[in-house]
Amino acid sequence: MVDAVALWKKCLDDLEYQVKGSIFTMWLRPLTAEVDNNILIVKAPNDIFVNYVTDNFLETITQLAIKHSANQIDAVNIEIDIQKDRVSTAVSDSVSNQPTSQESSVVLSNKKSKALNIIDPNFTFDTFVTGKSNNLAYKACYELTKKNPQNRHNPLFIYGPSGLGKTHLMHSVAHRYLKSNRTFYYFTSDKFVNQMVNSLRQKKIDEFKKKIKQVDLLIIDDIHVLAGKTKTITEFLSLFADFTSGDKQIILASDRHPAQLDEFDERFRSRLSGGLSVAIDPPELDTRVQILQKKASLSGIELPKDCALFIAQNVVSNVRRLEGALNQVIANASLTGVTIDLQMVQYALRDIIVQRFQSVNMDNIRKVVAEFYDVSVKDLMGKKRTRSIARPRQIAMALARELTGDSYPEIGQSFGGRDHSTVMHACDKVKQLRAEDLILDKEYKALAMMLQAG
């Protein structure tokens, strides 16, 4: 009979020599194993581990298991450890409406192996790539994880479009809290609302809030989802008051600055604005290149600089799409056995590139700008010169010049037969306004990102 513990130890010993240290520590050391009917069942904490280990190490583990078991093992399965998964569910739900002492102790006793089931092991400060677009948010998050921060802002409100790293930073803070033996609750907005509503319905709201108040840090993602939920907002503000006093901390995230959350009343917006609000913008080219090379390195892949630059130039909207493009390249390389070089990357991403260029055309520029500023395409093409129409028209012309490379006369013809001097004036005017008006500059960049993202 195969001794599963001894067999797995031998496999891990070999893997430690074969796999990069940080990857081994993060992804392989936490795994356990058992044997059932000549199958080695490797137990992983959650489905993130299952997918990663299966994609990257299943074949190697299978070879090692067969070797060290003297051919007694026929196959290897990577599965979620059911016991740990139950713990994960208890933590992520945070407070069930019929709490048990076991559930309460999960977060409060701060068992790191269990808490890691609800925060991504990859989302740490070490794996976060900083640049002009996110440096302030990074510094603010890192500072408040210190035992005695000199510049702690409460609440810390992180805002920006989806896929730029807000969740990564919040998970990074949670990791640092774990290391210093402090406690936290992390909620997605939907989970928070569901738990709050269930507690209100079952008249256990005081019990719900009491459990949350016992921890040091409260993190809620996508806080804007609370809009329209009056009772939930009232109870949230009660918690908010507790976590913005004393040594406690609250971190919130949204797609917009608190002042722009128009669906909430002034009282709510002013509370959220009472600490520090930091933006995360789409990463600039250099940062996108660094992100790609960092992600590739963490996966044990060498990504040449020219390949990273090519991907970064063609995927500009957010980090999530950037990672998706990199995963596509890695998958193609793995399936075909072809070395990653510029030609291979161009082929692997051919559909993404075609989609990008198809989206950057005059018709789409007019349509996107018109929708953004709530005017009609007909108005952009027409003769009206009111500011509410003339300014979006000028922005659309400037975007057309930057993104399509069409000549001034060609762009003028596309905007109702205007002459080239009108287009030149529009481009110069928008350039000037962008330098003077930070809000307009952000709008322009956002439009450019939207168009290039397809």
Q: What is the pLDDT of residues 381-433, one digit of tens each?
A: 888 888 888 999 999 999 988 887 778 888 888 888 888 889 999 999 999 99
359 band by pLDDT with thresholds 50, 70 and 90:
low
Average the pLDDT over 62-78 and give the result.
89
pLDDT score, position 24: 79
Q: Flag whether pLDDT at 377 surpasses 80.
A: yes
305-338 pLDDT per residue, tens = 888 988 887 777 678 888 888 988 888 888 888 8
Q: Tell whether the model's pLDDT for residue 106 goes beyond 80.
A: no
For the chain, the structural domain boundaries read: 4-83, 109-279, 285-358, 360-453
Residues 6+ apart with CB under 8 A from 79: 41, 42, 43, 44, 50
360-453 belongs to which CATH class? Answer: mainly alpha
- Which CATH superfamily groups domain 4-83? DnaA, N-terminal domain (3.30.300.180)
In whole angstroms, give the CA distance from residue 356 to residue 314.
7
> Which fold would CATH assign to domain 285-358?
Helicase, Ruva Protein; domain 3 (1.10.8)
Looking at residue 96, its pLDDT comes to 38
pLDDT of residue 168: 92
Average pLDDT of span 11-22: 80
Q: Sort residue 39 into left (φ over 0), alpha (ψ -120 to 50) or beta.
A: beta
- Is residue 93 classed exposed, middle or buried when 0-12, 13-18 and 19+ CB atoms within 10 A define those classes? middle
Residue 288: phi and psi, rounded to 5, are -65, -40
Band the pLDDT of 125: cuts 50, 70, 90. Answer: very high
The more confidently predicted of residues 390 and 96 is: 390
Q: pLDDT value at position 205?
A: 87
Looking at 15-24, 122-131, 416-425, which range is the least confident one? 15-24
Whether the per-residue pLDDT at 105 is higher than 50: the answer is no
Output the DSSP codes for 110-172.
T-HHHHTTTS-TT-SGGGPPP-TTTHHHHHHHHHHTSSS-SS--SSEEEE-STTSSHHHHHHH
pLDDT, tens only, 26-69: 788 888 999 988 889 999 887 777 888 888 888 889 989 998 99
| Domain with residues 109-279, CATH architecture | 3-Layer(aba) Sandwich (3.40)
Q: How many CB atoms lie within 10 A of CB 418?
A: 20
Max distance between CA atoms of the chain, in angstroms, equals 86
Give me the mean pLDDT over the 201-217 stretch: 87
Query: What residue type is 246 in one-letter code?
Result: G
Give percent of the chain above pLDDT 70: 88
Residue 344 has pLDDT above 50, yes or no: yes
For 217, the 3-state DSSP assignment is: strand
Q: Tell me the per-residue pLDDT of 152-208, one tens digit each, with 9 for 90 and over.
A: 788 999 998 778 889 999 999 998 988 888 888 888 877 888 888 888 888 888 888
pLDDT band at 267 (very low <50, low <70, confident <90, very high): confident
Question: How many other CB atoms are found less than 10 A from the CB of residue 3?
Answer: 11
Strands 75-80 and 39-44: parallel
Q: Is 417 left (phi over 0), alpha (psi -120 to 50) or beta?
A: left
pLDDT of residue 83: 57
| Residues in Cβ contact with 141 at an 8 Å cutoff, skipping those fewer than 6 apart | 125, 156, 158, 169, 170, 172, 173, 251
Mean pLDDT score across all residues of the chain = 82
Confidence of residue 370 (pLDDT cuts 50, 70, 90): confident
